[in-house]
Structure 1
Amino acid sequence: MKYPYSFDPKKRRIAKIYTMTKILNGLINGFLVPAVFLTAFLYSGGSDYIASLMPESWIAVPLYTIVFLLILSLVHLPLRFYSSFVYEHKHGLSTQTLAGWTGDYAKSSVLSYAFSLAAVTGVYYLMSSYELWWLWAGAVYLAMFAVLDYISPVFILPLFYKLEPLKDRKYRKKILDVCRKLGATGISNVLVANESQRSVKANALFTGYGATKRIVLFDTLMNNFTKDEIETVIGHEVGHYLNRDMLKGFLLEAVLIFPVLYIVDMALRAFAPGLGIEPYAIASLPLFMLAYTLINFVLMPFSGYYSRRMETAADAFALDHIRKPFAQISAEKRLADNALQDHEPPAWAEMLIYSHPAPIKRIKLAEDWARKNGKR
């Protein structure tokens, strides 16, 4: 295995095209397509028509929601399939079979429908019961957010990955010793996920909290990175854990969700009557989703900036405590080539889309640290 790793010039050229295509696809399928579809669905009377077919009972809300989500899924499906399967195979990043992709899509759709069905039914019940429904809805959202973070490692992650304890006992002990040395106590689970069945991309994460807390390492990381590189990746994740970034993420959600839902409430009351729809009737769901989508698009640069700051702090933690800047630089370069990530994307793309700093900035952080600390 080549170490220290240097950028592959050919992959760097391909990464420019690949990354920009993925960014544009994400913007189109994540914002433009739903915005156009939801607007057309509202102004064509489609929402009101489907709502008129529903029985006049409590079941109207969940039944409408299921029909609407199925239509929305069909609208998203072509671009989603192209981006996550066809395009990934084109660039040699996906190892997944069509059957595997279909299975993952089905499982993620069922989970999404289940949570969305519960959320929409709950929100429209609150709308019909409380004038300040958005306060109650925000509180319920935060409770669900916390519960999902807790159960995800135990119930959701295993639906998509085969998780096994790290078999190399000596290396497992070394990883746990590193965690304890850095102050991350109470962690006994080091699991390996079979990402190689899906892609060549590498990753690692701390997930869960309390009794569900564990480290998950992708087998693509374990098999294709040196132990020093892996140690810096783990140091980064420990940095997230000790910096309480999961709690910070929750607090950010808590700060944002209430004003977001309040603005959605204003949009429903302002625009629904002009469409011939009662603001709090289930036919207003597309308007609710349109307003929510547009607000989140506006907030993306702010939440992205907050996330990138946390990532930079985790990088700095790894440098200060693992103290292997050249292994960290090597890992950043290998990760970027591994995922065909543009190491120096346009500033607007990083500001709008990126949850992590551009690789070139992460590399520079490590280079600067090495100079300041006399590492050569």
Structure 2
Amino acid sequence: MTLLVGVFSLLFLWYTLFPGRVAPETLHYFNAAQVAKGREYALGQRLVFITGFMVQVAFLFWLVFSGRAAALSRWLQQLTGGSYWAGIVLFFIVLWLLLQLISLPFTLYGSYFWQHRWGFSTQTWGSWWLDYLKGSGLDIALTLVGVILLFWLMGHWPRTWWFLAAACLSVWLVVQSYLWPVLVSPLFNRFTPAKDPAIVNMVQNLGEKAGIPVEQVLVMDASRRTTKANAYFAGIGHTKRIVLYDTLLKNYSPDEVKAVVAHEMAHWRQGHIVKGLIMGILGNFLLWGLLFFTLRTTLPAHLRYPIYTWAIVMLFFLMVSFVCSPVQNYVSRQMEKEADQVSVMLTGDKQAAVRLQVNLATKNLSDVSPPAFIEWFSFSHPPAVTRINSILMDQR
């Protein structure tokens, strides 16, 4: 695991700094200046990501293997009068704060300063901090509940806690998919039903053609944070919805908006949300089982897991999520490719779909000719030229 993390990190850094030549076919759709701007924008984003990741991994490695985590947990437990559970809570809070302080410069630069430099961010300094504090508050509250539940399971079922933890997290994934769009997303953005009759009629017609009910088509006030345009699908059951950025409706032609809506409907039609959930749950059980064996070989035999176990768990999942990125992104790219093809079948308009890909990539400063390793490792969507070629070659 450590070797893979090191190899992937160095390859990611190398191809970020030295992306290589531009694929000739890219220049059929984008000029040299557009390609160069996309690469320059991506350079900053990727450097922030990989540097932040390596710093966090290095810190957790030092904390765990230097004995500092064990010493810190003993000291915190003494502060609480020897209370195991109070020590767990204090250790979690201290580690959470340390990791937040370590990652804050990278988060701030990547999501605020870099976005302002390129003219994407419309947020004020105060607005950015308000979002950051709201997100951090949710993170620490939900994670603390999970940590307490994890140590409770470890203490009561020392041999099967990993299975029970995976089951609990799997339930949470389903609940989150159902509740997040209606409870959490509105904390950050305002969502209103699409009111333009042309948009509503277009969505209804596409829904009938696709054979799927359209519960909600919502417009999100994305312009309060960014000039970028996008759309996404979210929720399951009665919380299913297509969300369109207001920047998309403002800056793109009706046939391009139709192509976007058809793409999101294609995700519904092909069952991508449910498939993604199922694959996530299966992977979840596999990873918790691997964590169980990792802890058995890492920690000395105890009647109960020591408080600093949480630092090892954090390091484990940080590294595993990094190493597993290519698998997750490969699955995502296949779903996106399928959604592109089905969307063209629904609209019958390949040219609009192609024009949409060109305009999205140009206006969002996408890297339209990424190095093969970067695409394989970190792209959740195929690059624009790959999507265009797939759309044009599809015979459906």
TM-score, normalised via structure 1 length: 0.92
Deviation at 1:57, TM superposition (A): 4.2
Residue 345 of structure 1 aligns to a residue whose secondary structure is: coil
Deviation at 1:8, TM superposition (A): 5.8
Q: Distance in 2 between matches of 1:362 and 1:288?
A: 38
Residue 199 of structure 1 aligns to a residue whose secondary structure is: coil
- Find out whether 1:133 has 2:161 as its counterpart: yes
Q: Distance in 1 between matches of 2:335 and 2:201?
A: 28
Q: Which moved more, 1:147-156 or 1:202-211?
A: 202-211
Deviation at 1:367, TM superposition (A): 2.2
Q: Distance in 1 between matches of 2:206 and 2:346?
A: 10
> Residue by residue, what CA displacement relative to the aligned partner does 1:317-352 show, whole Å, maximum 9, x if unpaired?
011221111111111111111221111211100110
Residue 206 of structure 1 aligns to a residue whose secondary structure is: strand
CA RMSD of aligned residues (A): 1.9
Q: Distance in 2 between matches of 1:270 and 1:294?
A: 17
Aligned length: 363
Q: Of 47, 50, 55, which residue of structure 2 is paired with 1:33?
A: 55
- Find out whether 1:352 has 2:374 as its counterpart: no
Could you list the runs of 5+ residues in structure 2 that have no partner in the other structure?
1-28
Identity among equivalent positions (%) equals 32
The 3 A distance-change label for structure 1 pair 170 and 320 is closer
Tell me, yes or no, if the aligned pair for 1:236 and 1:315 is still in contact at 8 Å: yes
Q: Distance in 1 between matches of 2:204 and 2:93?
A: 45
Q: Which amino acid aligns with 1:146?
A: V
Q: Distance in 1 between matches of 2:302 and 2:335?
A: 43
| 1:179-198 alignment runs, 5 A limit | 179-185=207-213, 187-198=214-225
> Residue by residue, what CA displacement relative to the aligned partner does 1:244-267 show, whole Å, maximum 9, x if unpaired?
111111111122111211221222
Q: Of 343, 354, 360, which residue of structure 2 is paired with 1:329?
A: 354
Tell me, yes or no, if the aligned pair for 1:51 and 1:282 is still in contact at 8 Å: yes
Q: Distance in 2 between matches of 1:320 and 1:169?
A: 23
Q: Which amino acid aligns with 1:19?
A: A
Residue 85 of structure 2 aligns to a residue whose secondary structure is: coil
Q: Of 146, 151, 168, which residue of structure 1 is paired with 2:179?
A: 151
Residue 200 of structure 1: aligned partner: 227
Residue 343 of structure 1: aligned partner: 368
Residue 184 of structure 2 aligns to a residue whose secondary structure is: helix
Could you list the runs of 5+ residues in structure 1 that have no partner in the other structure?
1-5
Tell me, yes or no, if the aligned pair for 2:233 and 2:264 is still in contact at 8 Å: yes
Residue 18 of structure 1: aligned partner: 41
Q: Distance in 1 between matches of 2:69 and 2:196?
A: 56
Tell me, yes or no, if the aligned pair for 2:49 and 2:106 is still in contact at 8 Å: no
Residue 217 of structure 1 aligns to a residue whose secondary structure is: strand
Deviation at 1:60, TM superposition (A): 2.6
Residue 16 of structure 2: aligned partner: none
Deviation at 1:200, TM superposition (A): 1.1
> Residue by residue, what CA displacement relative to the aligned partner does 1:47-71 show, whole Å, maximum 9, x if unpaired?
2233221321433322321221111
Q: Which amino acid aligns with 2:246?
A: D
| 1:119-130 alignment runs, 5 A limit | 119-130=146-157
Deviation at 1:25, TM superposition (A): 2.1
Tell me, yes or no, if the aligned pair for 2:215 and 2:238 is still in contact at 8 Å: no
Residue 22 of structure 2: aligned partner: none
